[in-house]
Structure 1
Amino acid sequence: MNDVGELERFRGSILGLAIGDALGHPTEFVSSVAGIRARWGERGVTDFEPSGGHPAGTFTDDTQMSIAVARALVRNGHGDLDATMRVLGEEFVAWARSRENNRAPGGTCLRGCSNLERGAPWREAGVANSKGCGAAMRAAPVGLYFAEDTDALVRVAAAQSSLTHRHPTGIASSVAAAAPVAFAIRERTTEGMLAFTRACVARLDAAFLVDMGCTPALAETIGAHEMLAALDAVEAAQHQESDDVCKLLGGAWIGEEAVATALWCVLRARGDFRDAVLRGANSSGDSDSIATIAGSIAGALVGTAGIDPSWIARVEKSAALDRLAQALHRTKHGADEPSTEADLDPFGAQRRDVSAEPEDDPENP
């Protein structure tokens, strides 16, 4: 893994999260591994499968919101935190109203987007008591962009959560999902990944969380403790085998469990991309989010060379995802790119005024 360049790791992470998402899409609401195997055979899902009227290789809102985060970082370039969150708010509102938003999006994410559309400041837009995994599932681009700047990594990962999820554990899970991606870019190994992730999460004291939009009571009583406990559980379980990670670490519908299960998949797979994402996809909980987060980490470890080229070719919007990863890498190391080509703007954030009334309602289920 060590000879893979940074650009290839960016590409591997962005394509990897989409591939994991697409693999986990059809199994997301199958509540047992036995049920998965009854439908797809003894090995479960091993390739892209159609889901809910969507063709094989279709990803979910997890990747769609990750695209929005990556686009905001590209568009804002090297601007300050408030500018980044303003642009990200535009991207989220555009996504929420887009016809492409038809992948069973989470209610908390939609509520946050609705608040942003009404003009709520980013620190107040998110649902105060929600610690769902919606912030963690989309945090990988932050880890890529700020891999060498831990202070910025923690601050931006925390802030992007607050647009939809202001519970301290939601915020902590966003930091915990971005951190191993950054570690993979920096260190190119899983050795020490858990310790680095824990150190990043441990920075989230009560004053910081309140500054990010948490209510003081939750910041004081919960803080980062739930996410840190979940990381302790990963450390305890990392040498334990199971055919269902959710039996070990929870169903992953909440932020700390989503990150914990994904990290376990990567560690048990020893960084092997295929093994990591298929462990996540063949689980009894929020399989697409587990596989999305696992794919972002494993993809950053191995780069595109370590991912099945057939999966890269067949995942939805493959070429655009690849170009977005390259734009993110280019912006990280060079000049700002406030505008992108039309095919890199799938939700139309730059093609229309997102504050205006939509011509059509989004096709949300």
Structure 2
Amino acid sequence: MSFTLFPGTRLALALESLAGLSVGDALGAQYLVPGNKPADLADGRVPDSPWEWTDDTEQACCLVATLFEGAETDKHFDRDAFAERLGRTYDPYRGYGPGAVVMLREIRDGLPWPIASAAAFDGAGSCGNGAAMRAAPLGAWHADSLAHAATEGARAAEVTHSHPEGIAGGVAVTVAAAVAAAGRLDGRRPEPALLLRAVAAHTPDGLVRADLLAAATIGRADEAAHRLGNGTRALAQDTVPFALWVAARHLDDYPAAISACVAAGGDVDTTAAIAGGVVAAYTGADGIPAAWLSAREPLPAWLAAAGGE
């Protein structure tokens, strides 16, 4: 990589990734509602608007606002500010799991985030999807260094996820978005297997990394969902490898990426948020159908107030 990113460019890249993440989240969530048929999306028909986003988008907005506020003053992601914002703004009715609700309430009430994160799940820490589903804009922000993206991805994940697989999921998505954004800036689309192997090279050892390497050998979506999982278990290792397989395969085709996530079923809003955030880091917001962007519920007003929109 031979480019220099200034704060305004970083923010623009992060916001376009956030757009892809939030539209994928909001559209994917529609297919958790009875009556909305995945086959309709394959035929180009989408549910009626507005499409409400979930906790995936809310946390990603917190991340982008934190990035913006620290852009001029701190070379590292401000984890204390991020934790405070997560605790202050979270809406439990946006689809948060019970463990996340307890943790964020504790943080809001003043418990330091390292203690709250470490105490989750009887001290094992969370290996869920929270760190991964919000991470793509952070990777787009750090498109000029995969190593730095991996470091910051781990630091951001640790605010709520102390389990190694939960952290690995956050790192993998951050690096994937950095690879995608770098490919856009370089004018070179990374080949699917090369993208997945590059992500695996920066992901800590464990189940997430092992399945990323396996994903690089898979050619069909049905096989990918069968072997890698589709998020049904709501674990990073059951979700991230498949979502990144989709992103790698459809890096220049946002609608196809979201459609592949919807067709696979499972935790559709999260797989579509992850894949959508990575793909939009490559295509930019122009790759997202304008009608889909219009159908997505507006992002929270506090994001714009923080200068992040």
TM-score by length of 1: 0.70
How many Å apart are 1:318 and its aligned residue? 5.8
1:85 to 71, 79, 87: 79
Percent identity, aligned pairs only, is 27
Q: What's the counterpart of residue 49 of structure 1?
A: 47
CA contact (8 A) 2:229 2:242 kept: yes
Q: What's the counterpart of residue 75 of structure 1?
A: 69
Q: What's the counterpart of residue 298 of structure 2?
A: 317
Q: What's the counterpart of residue 267 of structure 2?
A: 286
CA contact (8 A) 2:11 2:141 kept: no
Q: What's the counterpart of residue 227 of structure 1?
A: 208
Q: What's the counterpart of residue 4 of structure 2?
A: none
**Residues 162 and 26 (structure 1 numbering): CA distance in 2 closer, same or farther, change over 3 Å?**
same
Mapped partners of 2:280, 2:45: distance in 1: 17
Structure 2 stretches lacking a partner, 5+ long: 1-8
Q: What's the counterpart of residue 340 of structure 1?
A: 306
Q: What's the counterpart of residue 3 of structure 2?
A: none
Mapped partners of 1:309, 1:319: distance in 2: 19
TM-score by length of 2: 0.82
* SS of the residue 1:102 aligns to: helix
- Is 1:201 the counterpart of 2:203? The answer is yes
Q: What's the counterpart of residue 125 of structure 1?
A: 116
Q: Which residues of 2 match residues 233-252 of structure 1 at below 5 A?
A: 233-237=214-218, 239-242=219-222, 245-252=224-231
* SS of the residue 2:78 aligns to: helix
How many Å apart are 1:117 and its aligned residue? 2.5
Cα deviation, 1:77-126, whole Å, max 9, x if unaligned, reads 24254x70111011101122x4xx42221223223213323433333321
The one-letter amino acid paired with 2:181 is: I
How many Å apart are 1:165 and its aligned residue? 1.5
* SS of the residue 1:261 aligns to: helix
CA contact (8 A) 1:23 1:57 kept: yes
2:37 to 40, 45, 48: 40
- Could you tell which deviates more after superposition, 112-121 or 259-268? 112-121
How many Å apart are 1:320 and its aligned residue? 6.4
Mapped partners of 1:227, 1:94: distance in 2: 30
Structure 1 stretches lacking a partner, 5+ long: 31-37, 203-223, 325-338, 346-365
Mapped partners of 1:19, 1:47: distance in 2: 15
Mapped partners of 2:94, 2:199: distance in 1: 30
CA contact (8 A) 2:197 2:213 kept: no
- Is 1:106 the counterpart of 2:123? The answer is no
2:56 to 56, 62, 70: 62
* SS of the residue 1:201 aligns to: coil
Q: Supply the RMSD in Å over aligned alpha carbons.
A: 2.8
Mapped partners of 2:158, 2:254: distance in 1: 30
Larger radius of gyration: 1
Mapped partners of 2:82, 2:276: distance in 1: 23
CA contact (8 A) 1:62 1:289 kept: yes
Mapped partners of 1:114, 1:318: distance in 2: 22
* SS of the residue 1:282 aligns to: helix
Q: What's the counterpart of residue 356 of structure 1?
A: none
Matched residue pairs, number?
286
Mapped partners of 2:176, 2:230: distance in 1: 20
**Residues 157 and 270 (structure 1 numbering): CA distance in 2 closer, same or farther, change over 3 Å?**
closer
